[in-house]
Amino acid sequence: MSKNTYQQQRWSLKDLFPGPQSQQLKTAVSTLTERVAAFEKRRPQLVNDISNETFLSVVKDMEAIVVLGQKINAFAGLYFSEDTQNEAAQSLVARMDQLVADLSNQTLFFELWWKELPQSKATELMSSSGDYRYWLEAVRLFIPHTLSEPEEKIINIKNVTGVSALQMLYSSITNRYVYKLVVEGEEKELTRGQLMTYVRSNDADLRARAYQELYRVYGDDGTILGQIYQAIVRDWRNEQITLRHYESPISARNLVNDIPDSVVETLLDVCQKNAPVFQRFFKLKAKWLGVERLRRYDLYAPVVASEKRYPFSEAANLVLDAYTQFDPRFASLAERVFAEQHLDSEVRKGKRGGAFCWPSGPDLTPWVMLNFQGKPDDVSTMAHELGHAIHGMLAADHSIFTFHSNLPLAETASTFGEMVLVDYLLQHETDENVRRDILFSQVDGAYATIMRQAFFALFEREAHQKINEGASVGELADAYLKNLKTQFGDALELSDEFRWEWVSIPHIFDVPFYVYAYTFGQLLVLSLYKQYKAEGESFIPRYTKILSTGGSKAPVEVLAEAGIDVADPEFWQGGFEVLKGLISQLEQIPMG
């Protein structure tokens, strides 16, 4: 399978639609509108004594609407991600957002009827609903927070020109940024992705100047970006607390994730208590770098002068070989992303920064976006995002409602894939400097995925409260800097420009409280990977079953079946114990 030649390229969206002006897309929009109109005519059939057969027929009609709607929405979102400055793409996303809101309002009656149905009848219908069961159960979890039909419709309409518009504005503003950095005497104009390669440079001065330029640009717009964030947070509180009566802002996300508030509180508490674990690592890293104390600029600095670069084709083959060694089926699924041209790895001005995996539905191979520049971290990111794609494909036997796992489990396959890659690299890399760099990078990555994200979530929780109390943008920036000082203790020297880091984090703008899913996923994977190393191949079927479940069961139930109790602080502490062991190994390496 591997050892193929892979080229960096822009993805093809033809498996969705040939283009934004294509007749196929126009026909799909018309078909979707017609299906919704036909669905509305079924409203009189929704009565308390509805038969199982009629009910399932209605659900299948709803499913057909969602499948086509998500296909259209995926095309618009992916087309916009290719070039966020493309006015045609911006217009298409806005039009599709409006369409989705309008059609959601027309079908809203089904969800509201389902929530109002007596529990005894709902239980009867769910007992014969097959794969739809968990989706139907999950919908009813929101009964205490559901408004009247007119109110729900108003919120859907308001979001298009309200919070969704603010989120697009944030994306459009920040993705047009150009960063200037002098490298080897030459001033370069860079995208954010290109700039961030230099924060992992061997050159301490270059690392500092890259960070300074990043937060100079964000800081120049800090007030306006902060105001956008304040408006998003106020919108979240107005809807989730004032109207829907959730206990706290984060509770609204927890219910979407179907994770009890107490579990999330336990997770974040354990992370706070373990901040010294990474502080210990940063002090070790300072010794390797020959400095008394790390600067925040040095967080991801390589400890050895390894400038290892991976051509794209070599990186792709490495990732596929690593997956093959774990399980050839995983590699075969990952290779589909390349074969079907569902991967965009080029670095282009205007292209959305970072990386993501976007599944349109269970019937299509997911699309993966990378901004690949050949750094070791880019190879890890490739393994991560292809892990997401594998997860989606393994769950493709489920319906559109149940194939995509809840957020806390959505990071399982991706993070596990990174660990599979690290193991493979350590087995095959002969250069001791590179091997040492891989080990340090593994802990760097664990910090970025566990502690950094947990403290983002802690900041979000504080920011939502402060904004409700009238905090200014400057006060939020001060609170963020204090958050960093708590996180790093005396292990790092912080400079003032990092007070603007929070306005550079898209997740807190786009999906409030998304970030703890990374922490949840990484600590979970440390536990799972420890089991894999102990059990070998016998572990793979159990792990595959977790991924294949998709979103067809509650996350707590899926993990309980695998012998994991997420309510137990000791489970989360176990992940930190694995990290402590890894840091102890690093402390034993003699410094040359």
Cα first-last separation, the chain: 40
Average model confidence (pLDDT) across the chain: 94
Quick check: 2 pLDDT over 60? no
**What are the structural domains, with CATH classification, of the chain?**
23-170 (1.20.140.70), 247-308+431-592 (1.10.1370.20)
489: left (phi over 0), alpha (psi -120 to 50) or beta: left
Structure tokens at 357: 């995996």
| Residue position matching structure tokens 């038969």 | 51
- The one-letter amino acid code at 570 reads E
Confidence tier at 306 by pLDDT (50, 70, 90): low
CA 163 – CA 229 distance, rounded (Å): 10
Confidence tier at 305 by pLDDT (50, 70, 90): low
Query: 147: Cβ–Cβ under 8 A, 6 or more apart, which residues?
Result: 155, 243, 244
CA 81 – CA 541 distance, rounded (Å): 36
Query: 316: Cβ–Cβ under 8 A, 6 or more apart, which residues?
Result: 2, 4, 6, 338, 382
Determine the 3-state secondary structure of 62 from DSSP. Answer: helix
Residue 383 half-sphere exposure, CB side, CA atoms within 13 Å?
27
Question: How does pLDDT run across 314-352, given as a tens digit for each residue?
Answer: 999 999 999 999 999 999 999 999 999 999 999 998 899
Query: 276: Cβ–Cβ under 8 A, 6 or more apart, which residues?
Result: 489
CA 263 – CA 518 distance, rounded (Å): 15
Burial class (CB within 10 angstroms; exposed 0-12, middle 13-18, buried 19+) of 140: middle
Query: 441: Cβ–Cβ under 8 A, 6 or more apart, which residues?
Result: 302, 376, 377, 380
Determine the 3-state secondary structure of 400 from DSSP. Answer: coil
The stretches of 354-504 forming alpha helices (DSSP H) are: 376-394, 407-410, 412-428, 432-446, 452-468, 473-488
Contact between 160 and 341 (Cβ < 8 Å): no
Confidence tier at 436 by pLDDT (50, 70, 90): confident
Determine the 3-state secondary structure of 178 from DSSP. Answer: coil
Element (H, E) at 189: strand 186-190
Contact between 400 and 70 (Cβ < 8 Å): yes
Contact between 338 and 366 (Cβ < 8 Å): no
Confidence tier at 432 by pLDDT (50, 70, 90): confident
Pairing of strands 367-369, 186-190: unpaired
Question: How does pLDDT run across 486-525, given as a tens digit for each residue?
Answer: 999 999 999 999 999 999 999 999 999 999 999 999 999 9
Buried b (16+ CB within 10 A) or exposed e, 164-194: bebbbebbeebbebebebeeeeeeeebbbbb
CA 528 – CA 522 distance, rounded (Å): 10
223: left (phi over 0), alpha (psi -120 to 50) or beta: alpha
The stretches of 129-274 forming alpha helices (DSSP H) are: 133-140, 149-161, 163-175, 192-196, 204-220, 222-237, 249-257, 261-273
Residue 132 half-sphere exposure, CB side, CA atoms within 13 Å?
20
Question: How does pLDDT run across 66-117, given as a tens digit for each residue?
Answer: 999 999 999 999 999 999 999 999 999 999 989 988 999 999 999 999 999 9
CA 78 – CA 17 distance, rounded (Å): 11
Determine the 3-state secondary structure of 397 from DSSP. Answer: coil
Quick check: 592 pLDDT over 70? no
Highest mean pLDDT of the ranges 364-373, 402-411, 440-449, 518-527:
364-373
Give me the percent of the chain exceeding a pLDDT of 70. Answer: 99
Predicted local distance difference test score (pLDDT) of residue 302: 86
Quick check: 574 pLDDT over 80? yes
* Prediction pTM value: 0.85
Burial class (CB within 10 angstroms; exposed 0-12, middle 13-18, buried 19+) of 123: exposed
Give the relative orientation of helices 261-273 and 275-289 as an angle to the nearest 10 degrees. 40
CA 263 – CA 284 distance, rounded (Å): 32
Question: How does pLDDT run across 166-200, given as a tens digit for each residue?
Answer: 999 999 999 999 999 999 999 999 999 899 989 98
Determine the 3-state secondary structure of 508 from DSSP. Answer: helix
- Residue 345's φ and ψ, nearest 5 degrees, are -115, -5
Q: How many CB atoms lie within 10 A of CB 92?
A: 20
Predicted local distance difference test score (pLDDT) of residue 101: 87
